[in-house]
């Protein structure tokens, strides 16, 4: 008879816990960014405009329908893109945590920082969804890094909670 021990490697559990944690972390990141924006001085640095999540949604919409996201759906499309990316990053993180526990080091800040570096500093500019890092103000880089550090912390805390809930209990079958 099979006996499963809590803490054993379990890829499906890791992915499920990670996706759920990624959604929760994306929510926490949104709340943090709203607070940051409310406390910050009004933008007049020329770096305003549509967020990269909306630009990505517009790209997908244009590819599929030939039209940008309709005006009434723009906020929803931007949020959906943010949560989808959060869920994917969470799923990867949860799976990695099952096999490489070191990935969770730094309470998730390292992973959040890596996500910021890969997404905000490389992929988003390469896709033309944001200006190159060399043309972006230092304050914008700091905002992105801190936002992703918050995402990483929330991701690790949520993943741990979900993994505990999903972990099989130690039991033996005779």
Torsions phi, psi for 170 (to 5 deg): -70, 125
Residues 6+ apart with CB under 8 A from 7: 167
Q: What local confidence, expressed as pLDDT, does residue 48 receive?
A: 61
| Cβ atoms < 10 Å from Cβ of 19 | 22
Is residue 148 within 8 Å of 116, Cβ to Cβ?
yes
Is residue 90 within 8 Å of 25, Cβ to Cβ?
yes
Q: What local confidence, expressed as pLDDT, does residue 37 receive?
A: 85
Q: What local confidence, expressed as pLDDT, does residue 109 receive?
A: 96
Q: What local confidence, expressed as pLDDT, does residue 169 receive?
A: 54
Q: What local confidence, expressed as pLDDT, does residue 59 receive?
A: 86
The structure's pTM equals 0.84
**Gap between the Cα atoms of 148 and 132, Å rounded:** 18
**Gap between the Cα atoms of 166 and 159, Å rounded:** 10
Query: Which mean pLDDT values do the consecutive 10-residue runs of the chain (174 residues) have?
Result: 55 94 96 89 58 87 89 91 95 94 93 95 92 92 95 96 78 46
């Amino acid at each position: 008879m099979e006996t499963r021990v809590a803490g054993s490697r379990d890829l499906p559990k890791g992915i499920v816990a990670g996706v759920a944690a990624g959604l929760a972390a994306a929510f926490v990141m949104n709340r943090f960014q709203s607070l940051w924006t409310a406390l910050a001085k009004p933008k007049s640095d020329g770096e305003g405009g549509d967020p990269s999540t909306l630009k990505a949604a517009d790209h997908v919409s244009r590819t599929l329908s030939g039209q940008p996201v309709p005006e009434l759906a723009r906020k929803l499309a931007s949020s959906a893109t943010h949560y989808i990316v959060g869920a994917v990053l969470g799923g990867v993180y949860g799976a990695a945590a099952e096999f490489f526990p070191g990935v969770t080091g730094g309470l998730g800040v390292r992973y959040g920082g890596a996500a910021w570096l890969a997404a905000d500093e490389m992929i988003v500019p390469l896709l033309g969804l944001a200006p190159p890092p060399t043309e972006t103000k230092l304050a914008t880089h700091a905002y992105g890094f801190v936002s992703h550090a918050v995402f990483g912390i929330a991701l690790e805390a949520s993943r741990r909670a979900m993994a505990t809930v999903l972990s099989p209990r130690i039991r033996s079958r005779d």
